[in-house]
Amino acid sequence: MPSGRTHDRLTWIGMPLVGFTASALTRDWIWGVIASSSFGIGGFLLSPDLDTPSLPYYRWGWLRGIWLPYQKAFHHRSFWTHGPLVGTLIRLLYLGLWLGLGLGLVAGVATFTGHLPLVQAWLHRWQGIDWRWGVAIALGLELSALLHVTSDWVVSQWRRWHR
């Protein structure tokens, strides 16, 4: 397998390629920025290697503890963490669970303190966001995971071949 630094280098190389490609295909630079940014987030923070104590895991700082149950639930390089589409979907659902818990806590505190209308107004703003943003984000996240998994496979095959 490539080192964490190699995965980071590949992410840095892939970000502009994804951004320029998305911009060229859509003829709009904003889609390139969205796809490229989500590609970077996928490579640096939501990597398939969150199933081990890895660079992406440590980048979560004091929040990295949220990934411990994920690490206990899945074996490294399993289909559930490194599988195309499945790995990204599971990481997003898992992160969504934590975000939902956090949002529930915020809503509870807002209700208790009388600030619930502020939270509701903030959530209402999100309803008007273009659904295509979600597609561009998902595409960037999945492309970064595919690059990661492909580089793992290529290096593993190379090492087997050279034995």
Tell me: the pLDDT tens digits for 100-149?
999 888 888 888 888 888 777 877 777 777 778 888 899 999 999 999 99
Please give the residue that has the higher pLDDT: either 76 or 44. 44
pLDDT tens figures, 27-69? 989 999 999 999 999 999 999 999 999 999 999 999 999 999 9
Q: Which of 64, 83, 85 is nearest to 75 (CA)?
A: 83
Interhelix angle 131-161/86-113, rounded to 10 degrees, is 140
pTM, whole model, 2 decimals?
0.85
The three-point CA angle 160-162-163 to 5° equals 70
CB 151 within 8 A of CB 2: yes
Q: Which of 47, 17, 49 is nearest to 35 (CA)?
A: 17
